[in-house]
Amino acid sequence: MDVDLELGMNISCKELRVRLLHEFRLGHKTTEATRNICSTMSKDALFIRTAQHWFNWFKNDNFELDDLPRVGKPLEVDMDVLKQLAEEDPRLTTRCLAERLGCSHTTVETHLRELGKTWKYGVWIPHELSPLQLQHRVDAFMKLLTSHRNYQWLHNHITGDEKWVLHVNHTRKRQWLGAGQ
Q: Which pLDDT tens digit goes with each residue over 145-179?
A: 777 665 665 666 655 555 555 556 666 677 777 77
Look up the CATH number of domain 79-115: 1.10.10
- Asked if pLDDT for residue 70 goes beyond 70, the answer is no
Percentage with pLDDT > 90 across the chain: 6
Backbone angles phi, psi at 10, to 5 degrees: -110, 130
pLDDT of residue 129: 76
| Cβ neighbours for 74, distance < 8 A, ≥ 6 positions apart | 102, 103, 107
- Asked if pLDDT for residue 89 goes beyond 60, the answer is yes
Q: How is domain 13-60 classified at the CATH fold level?
A: Arc Repressor Mutant, subunit A (1.10.10)
Domain boundaries, given as residue ranges, for the chain = 13-60, 79-115
79-115 shares the fold of 13-60? yes
Q: Are 52 and 30 in contact (CB under 8 A)?
A: yes
